[in-house]
Amino acid sequence: MTRPLTFLGIESSCDDTAASVVALGPDGPTILASVVRGQGSLHAPFGGVVPEIAARAHAERVDLCVEEALGTAGVSLSALDGIAVTAGPGLIGGVLSGVMCAKALAAATGLPLLGVNHLAGHALTPRLTDGVAFPYLMLLVSGGHCQFLIAHAADRFSRLGGTIDDAPGEAFDKTAKILGLPQPGGPSVEAEAAKGDPTRFAFPRPLLDRPGCDLSFSGLKTAVLRLRDGLVAEKGGLTETDRADLCAGFQAAVAEVLAVKTARALDAARDIEPGLTTLTVAGGVAANSAIRARLSGVAAVAVLPFVAPPLALCTDNGAMIAWAGLERFRLGHRDDLTFSARPRWPLDEGAAPMLGSGKRGAKA
């Protein structure tokens, strides 16, 4: 019997320090350990992730996370076949912490090293969790990203469209802030929305009148702000019902926009890849049950299976990086100790930069 291929994965691109050990044997992949250390409490007083605080916390914890992951997996460094690390895109100080740790380990052990694109980690997760076959469509929806990707192979992706301003998770977080709900905003807005009437307030459906798969979410957050200010001016404050109805209306608008654009992206993806196997979703916003339900409905209409990885593997983690490294390793990819940490790194380097991607170029 062939020995499993075993990889260590390290992730530190935002506010989670993570390390994981993933093994690929004849029966498929197994996550032997996955350690994720969040930094929520460090950033909470500032209402958002503070890059310097994140970088310092990653530098302090990353080697401890690696040690814990190896210990839990019962795997020594010498039993590994390779080391994968997020090399971007992300907050550069954090990415550097992980990359330096991985390079030091590779230099000391002589193990193969792979610098992985964080988005590839998310995009390949459905293969780790459900063995999804290429080609498939991935909707990546998180606090920092929103894009439709065709995964043709572990090293080849096409971006069909994405947000031209905020990511949906960012819009959930800002909505929570406007309404005085706790962060992260996604779960708290979803909980309020469950008690509310989605039809009471008229929310826009941004970009639905425009062809293509691009999305926009900043207008929805502004609509929440405007409606809140109107209610406050009229009645001096918000009732529980007002808050729940605002959350329900906002969430219904996000879910509908995502559903309609996903249906379009599926059509476009099938034109390019007629043998498309699956609709998949990943990223923190994929935790939202209303959004999952709408996407699952879109897949059913298109007569395609729908795969949403378990929540712990939808949000940032080290297993997806170990897996992406392992998949690239099997295709013959290797990096040497000179690769750079990249704050910006589009997964589909051939795609035109998204509108609003900034003067410094496309972020992702």
* Shortest spacing between CB 251 and ligand KG4, in angstroms: 8
Instruction: Find, among 152, 140, 105, the residue nearest to 337 by Cα.
Output: 105
Contact partner, 88, from Zn ion, ligand KG4, none, Cβ < 5-8 Å per class: none
Extract the runs of DSSP E, i.e. beta strands, from the chain.
5-11, 16-25, 28-38, 82-88, 113-117, 136-141, 146-153, 156-162, 279-282, 306-307
Q: List, in order, residues 6 or more apart from 183 with CB less than 8 Å away.
A: 40, 44, 47, 173, 176, 177
Q: Min. distance of Cβ 282 from Zn ion in angstroms? A: 8
Q: Indicate the residue among 184 and 309 with the shorter CB distance to ligand KG4.
A: 184
Tell me whether the omega of the peptide bond preceding residue 135 falls within 30 degrees of 0, making it cis. yes
Determine which residue in the list 166, 190, 214, 316 makes contact with Zn ion, applying CB under 5 A: 316
Tokens standing for 290?
A: 């209303």
Q: What's the CA gap between 146 and 143, in Å, rounded?
A: 8
CB of 319 to Zn ion, least distance (A): 13
Whole-angstrom distance, CA of residue 84 vs CA of residue 335:
10
Peptide bond into 168 cis (omega under 30): no
Residue 285's binding partner out of ligand KG4, Zn ion, none, with CB under 5 to 8 Å set by partner kind: ligand KG4
> In the window 134-163, what residues touch Zn ion (CB under 5 A)?
142
> Residue 322's closest CA among 118, 181, 146?
118
Nearer to ligand KG4, 172 or 345 (CB): 172
Query: In terms of CB distance, is 170 or 214 closer to ligand KG4?
Result: 170
> In whole angstroms, how close is the CB of 270 to ligand KG4 at the nearest point?
27
- Least Å distance, CB 49 to ligand KG4, is 9
Indicate the residue among 265 and 286 with the shorter CB distance to Zn ion: 286
Contact set with ligand KG4 (CB under 6 A): 14, 142-144, 169-170, 172-173, 184-187, 190, 283-285, 287-288, 315-316
Q: Which amino acid is at 17?
A: T
CB of 272 to ligand KG4, least distance (A): 26
Binding range to Zn ion, per CB under 5 A, among 40-48, 60-68, 216-224, 313-321: 313-321
Measured from the CB atom, is 192 or 316 closer to Zn ion? 316
Whether 217 and 170 have beta carbons less than 8 Å apart is answered as yes
Residue 171 vs 304, nearer CB to ligand KG4: 171
Q: Which is nearer to ligand KG4, 185 or 206 (CB)?
A: 185
Nearest to 164 by CA among 354, 348, 359, 362: 354
- What gap in Å lies between CA 254 and CA 193, rounded to an integer? 12
H or E element: which one contains 41? Answer: helix 40-43
Work out how close the CB of 190 gets to Zn ion at its nearest, in angstroms, rounded to a whole number.
19
Report which residue's Cβ sits closest to Zn ion: 316
User: Minimum Å distance from CB 167 to ligand KG4?
Assistant: 7
Residue whose token pair is 């992985």? 116
Q: Least distance in Å: CB of 146 to ligand KG4?
A: 10
Q: Which of 326, 343, 345 is nearest to 20 (CA)?
A: 326
If contact means CB under 5 to 8 A according to the sort of partner, which of ligand KG4, Zn ion, none does residue 198 touch? none
Query: Which residue sits closest to ligand KG4, CB atoms considered?
Result: 186
172 binds, among ligand KG4, Zn ion, none (CB under 5 to 8 A by kind): ligand KG4
Using DSSP bridges, classify how beta strands 306-307 and 279-282 pair: parallel, antiparallel or unpaired: parallel
Torsion of CA 290, 293, 297, 300, to 10 degrees: 170
The interface region with Zn ion, picked from 64-72, 154-162, 299-307, 312-320 by CB under 5 A, is 312-320
190 binds Zn ion (CB under 5 A): no
Separation CA 221–CA 97 (nearest Å) = 33
Footprint on this chain of Zn ion (rule: CB under 5 A): 142, 316
